[in-house]
């Protein structure tokens, strides 16, 4: 049973494709405590749901995500130091949960994104944005830091582009977002759904267990030296040969058949 949320929408189709929508269009889907908590809960549920194969992350209305809600910021100023740290950590935990989701996370970036919205894009595995959208890491303009999102943004666009964008807080367009690696591709607004569906179909050809293990593999080799990774990867391939998916995939290929996980 799909739970009911106040600030997000969750829909799962018959193929196991979940669409997770930030649903505060009147606030440009800005992040507040309630949205962060609900999104974290939904991400936990989707991670554990074996019937879900792909997650599409998007926003309602004209914007993808305007970053942090200013009223949420203001309310945190009134809190104690310990309470402010805890509130900040809720966003860090959400980004970590999305980043380690054991399914492909496809960003349907339906409009502009700033601050924390750029962080949300950065934890997606494949991102499709629209022409005309604007982006910015604008925290320094408010006297703040892009703190919790920085590990993911730096990993996504690199140190050089992070300095270019974070230190001024200047806005940039979708063309530049694609050039620096924030977006995988840019399409016309009326072509967004078709582009997302094309990427979804590609991912539905992959074995779910192998996808989860490959995401873990990427994270491991990105954070370890070559010698350590050589040992790890040799073990992982040996393990894969023994899994039901690995056996089925090899036998299907040799027998010119179609493995059970592939969706037309």
- Alpha helices, DSSP H only, in the chain? 33-48, 70-77, 81-99, 116-122, 150-166, 174-179, 192-203, 208-222, 226-242, 244-254
**CB distance 183 to 155 below 8 Å:** no
Please give the Cα distance from 249 to 245 (Å, whole number): 6
pLDDT of residue 1: 63
Q: Count other Cβ atoms within 10 Å, centred on residue 121.
A: 25
Question: In the 8-state DSSP scheme, what is residue 4?
Answer: P
Positions of the chain with pLDDT under 50: none
End-to-end CA distance of the chain: 26
What's the chain's Rg over C-alpha atoms? 19
Q: Phi and psi of 80, rounded to 5°? A: -70, 165
Structure token pair of residue 190: 């009326």
Please give the Cα distance from 177 to 185 (Å, whole number): 9
Alpha carbons within 13 angstroms on the beta-carbon side of residue 225 total 2
26 SS3 class: helix
**Can you give 110-159 as a three-state secondary structure string?**
CCEEECHHHHHHHCCCEEEEECCCEEECCHHHHCCCCCCCHHHHHHHHHH
CATH number of 8-203: 3.90.226.10
pLDDT digits (tens, 9 = 90+) for 108-145: 999 999 999 999 999 999 999 999 999 999 999 999 99
**CB distance 196 to 128 below 8 Å:** yes
Please give the Cα distance from 61 to 87 (Å, whole number): 27
By the 10 Å C-beta count (0-12 exposed, 13-18 middle, 19+ buried), 94 is classed as buried
Contacts of 28 (CB under 8 A, 6+ apart): 61, 62, 63, 65, 66, 112
Query: What percent of the chain is modeled with pLDDT above 90?
Result: 89
């Amino acid at each position: 049973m799909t739970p009911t949320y106040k600030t997000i929408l969750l829909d799962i189709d018959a193929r196991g494709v979940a669409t997770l929508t930030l649903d505060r269009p009147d606030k440009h889907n800005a992040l507040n405590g309630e949205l962060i908590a609900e999104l974290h809960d939904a991400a936990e549920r989707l991670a554990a749901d074996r019937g879900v194969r792909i997650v599409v992350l998007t926003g309602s209305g004209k914007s993808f995500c305007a970053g942090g809600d200013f009223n949420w910021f203001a309310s945190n100023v009134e809190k104690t130091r310990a309470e402010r740290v805890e509130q900040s950590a809720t966003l860090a935990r959400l980004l970590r949960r999305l980043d380690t989701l054991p399914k492909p996370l496809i960003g349907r970036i339906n409009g502009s994104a700033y601050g924390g919205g750029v962080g949300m894009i950065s934890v997606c595995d494949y991102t499709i944005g629209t022409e005309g959208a604007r982006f910015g890491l604008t925290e320094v303009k408010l006297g703040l830091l892009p703190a919790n999102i920085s590990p993911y943004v730096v990993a996504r666009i690199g140190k050089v582009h992070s300095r270019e964008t974070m230190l001024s807080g200047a806005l940039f367009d979708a063309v530049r977002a694609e050039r620096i690696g924030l977006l995988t591709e840019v399409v016309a607004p009326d072509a967004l759904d078709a582009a997302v569906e094309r990427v979804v179909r590609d991912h539905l050809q992959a074995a779910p267990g192998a996808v989860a293990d490959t995401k873990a593999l990427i994270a491991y080799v990105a954070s370890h030296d070559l010698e350590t990774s050589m040992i790890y990867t040799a073990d992982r391939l040996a393990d894969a040969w023994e899994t039901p998916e690995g056996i089925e995939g090899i036998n299907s290929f040799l027998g010119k058949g179609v493995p059970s996980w592939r969706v037309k």
